[in-house]
């Protein structure tokens, strides 16, 4: 097996349905599997389609931000030489997947662009549609569809991920959101790069992301309630602090 796509999911069944329908249309090669980690959804996830999907369900005594632990558990059962990992509000295209299947390096990071998966599983980057989804016109006029990269979206050789120790679960379980485990993992990786042990691939394929959260003016912005409702409004979240400073506690903020 060449690639294991690992996605953690929490109470986002419609988003997952669209994601898998989109992948069905895109086509998944025989050397690629999809590992869905159900991170304690109230209603357990099911899939009855034709994709090579395995679902691993986790149970939690209390709700925390545990997506990174879910990734660790997904890696444990993954069969692929490479891990392709991204959050459910992100999605890949065939070009990115083919690149990961053939690049042969240690790690590749992605650049990000705004788009959505429609109800019928089709890709859409029509500006007028994205505005209806909450993407601010003011932001589009300045940045277009571009958005800054995120350390949690990458592909990496599985053996290297394990050697680096995966995500720090102590941080995840003992800190408020954001726990910083993604940045810490990247820091551990970067230390090995600086020592000349590994190198990051210079090519940066594009991964796509729904317009959610702070880019739409509210850290908890959730278009059409497509994703889980765990709040990002914490004292540790610098974006939430800036939001409060600018808008107060009004949770109906929305850029135009």
User: pLDDT tens string for the chain (256 positions)?
Assistant: 999 999 999 999 999 999 999 999 999 999 999 999 999 999 999 999 999 999 999 999 988 999 999 999 999 999 999 999 999 999 999 999 999 999 999 999 999 999 999 999 999 999 999 999 999 999 999 999 999 999 999 999 999 999 999 999 999 999 999 999 999 999 999 999 999 999 989 999 999 999 999 999 999 999 999 999 999 999 999 999 888 888 876 555 554 4
Q: What is the CATH class of 3-247?
A: alpha beta
Please count the CA atoms within 13 angstroms of the CA of 215 that sit on its side-chain side. Answer: 25
Query: What distance lies between CA 98 and its chain's CA centroid?
Result: 19
pTM for the predicted model, two decimal places: 0.95
């Amino acid at each position: 097996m060449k690639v294991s796509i690992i996605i953690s999911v929490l109470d986002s069944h419609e988003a997952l349905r669209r994601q898998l329908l989109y992948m069905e249309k895109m086509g998944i090669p025989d050397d690629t599997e999809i590992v869905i980690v159900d991170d304690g959804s109230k209603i357990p996830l099911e899939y009855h389609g034709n994709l090579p999907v395995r679902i691993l369900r986790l149970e939690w005594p209390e709700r925390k931000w545990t997506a990174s632990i879910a990734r660790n558990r997904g890696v444990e059962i993954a069969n692929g030489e490479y891990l392709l990992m991204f959050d459910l509000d992100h999605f890949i295209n065939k070009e990115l997947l083919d690149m990961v299947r053939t690049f042969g390096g240690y790690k590749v990071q992605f650049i990000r662009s705004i788009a959505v998966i429609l109800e019928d599983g089709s890709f859409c980057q029509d500006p007028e549609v994205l505005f209806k989804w909450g993407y601010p016109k003011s932001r589009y006029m300045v940045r277009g569809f571009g958005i800054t990269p995120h350390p949690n979206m990458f592909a990496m050789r599985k053996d290297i991920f394990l050697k680096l120790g995966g995500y720090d679960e102590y941080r995840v379980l003992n800190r408020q959101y954001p726990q910083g485990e993604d940045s810490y993992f990247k820091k551990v990786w970067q230390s090995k790069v600086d020592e000349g042990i590994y190198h990051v691939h210079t090519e940066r394929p594009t991964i796509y992301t729904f317009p959610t959260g702070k880019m739409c003016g509210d850290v908890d912005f959730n278009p059409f309630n497509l994703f889980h409702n765990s709040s990002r409004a914490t004292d540790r979240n610098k974006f939430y602090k800036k939001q409060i400073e600018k808008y107060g506690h009004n949770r109906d903020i929305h850029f135009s």
